[in-house]
């Protein structure tokens, strides 16, 4: 242990193991010994996988990339909470000091019809990509990059656009919602464009297309439980969902 604050821990894990899509999965038990309280949760899983390899067992598959809360790939449910017990962090930012020596920790994948399990803790979130492909961009030709400050945007709008743009598309909103709704994700992607002049032009068509694609992908409806906001590692506000619903209603009326 290289850090004075670290303590050695033993953790009892119950981890979801599933050999492939549509296969029957189950929780396997594993006792992880010699852990440091200063390890990140993913480093703890790395240690578990080294143990499993030594025991001639297949390692547990889990997604990760940046390991610094940016990419949104390290999605898993820990003790029943998407990204675990800490607020406004991703799984890779969770540390073992959040748990106690001897704790039992349950780890399972995000569960939603629109996020089919690929293997163990890895789910297919390409449904989010298809929602973005359906309209989450600006397609009008805005010319070359303008000088900074040549396009006036008021501070409250730029702040709201920026806050919405911090969504990393991890899917915690879906995993925490009893309806597996993607409303927080879709509304954040709509808001970050709709608050800016470049994005306003296609706002109606974009809202109609993305909301319809969300439904096509099999995400559930929003029933305002706000579990999504509580689980979101970036603290995205459910006010974006109200804005999306208003925009969708207006655009639907205009479409007729």
Binding mask 50-89 for ligand FES (x = CB under 6 A): --------------xxxx-xxxxxx---------------
Residues 6 or more apart in contact with residue 190 via CB below 8 angstroms = 136, 203, 206, 207, 210, 240, 243, 244, 247
Nearer to ligand FES (CB atom), residue 73 or residue 237? 73
Nearer to ligand FES (CB atom), residue 39 or residue 222? 39
Identify residues 84-113 at the interface with ligand FES (CB under 6 A).
90-92
CB of 26 to ligand FES, least distance (A): 26
Query: Per CB under 6 A, does 40 bind ligand FES?
Result: no
Q: Is 201 helix (H, G, I), strand (E, B) or coil?
A: coil
**Cα–Cα distance measured from residue 164 to residue 190, given in angstroms and rounded to the nearest whole number:** 8
How many residues make contact with ligand FES (CB under 6 A)?
13
CB of 74 to ligand FES, least distance (A): 3
Q: Is 147 within 8 Å of 90 (Cβ atoms)?
A: no
Nearer to ligand FES (CB atom), residue 74 or residue 173? 74
Residue 30 φ then ψ, to 5° = -150, 135
Angstrom CA distances, 98 to 36, 82, 219, stand at 12, 15, 32
Q: Which residues bind ligand FES (CB under 6 A)?
A: 64-67, 69-74, 90-92
């Amino acid at each position: 242990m290289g850090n004075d604050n670290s303590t050695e821990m033993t953790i009892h894990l119950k981890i979801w193991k599933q050999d492939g899509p549509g296969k029957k999965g189950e929780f396997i038990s594993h006792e992880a010994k010699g852990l440091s309280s200063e390890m990140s949760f993913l480093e703890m899983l790395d240690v578990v996988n080294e143990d499993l390899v030594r025991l001639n067992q297949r390692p547990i598959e889990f997604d990760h990339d940046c390991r610094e809360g940016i990419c949104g790939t390290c999605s898993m449910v820990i003790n029943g909470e998407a990204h675990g017990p800490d607020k406004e962090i991703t799984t890779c930012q969770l540390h073992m000091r959040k748990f106690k020596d001897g704790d039992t920790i349950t780890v399972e994948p995000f569960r939603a019809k629109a996020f089919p399990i690929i293997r163990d803790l890895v789910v297919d979130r390409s449904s989010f990509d298809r929602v973005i492909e359906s309209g989450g961009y600006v397609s009008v030709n805005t010319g070359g990059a303008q000088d900074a400050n040549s396009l006036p945007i008021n501070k409250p709008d730029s702040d709201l656009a920026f806050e919405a743009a911090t969504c990393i598309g991890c899917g915690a909103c879906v995993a925490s919602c009893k309806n597996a709704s993607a409303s927080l994700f879709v509304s954040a992607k709509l808001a970050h464009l709709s608050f800016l002049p470049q994005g306003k032009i296609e706002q109606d068509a974009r809202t109609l297309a993305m909301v319809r694609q969300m439904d096509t992908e099999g995400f559930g409806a929003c029933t305002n439980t706000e579990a999504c906001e509580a689980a979101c590692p970036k603290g995205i506000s459910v006010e974006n969902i109200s804005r999306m619903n208003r925009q969708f209603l207006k655009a639907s009326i205009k479409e007729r």
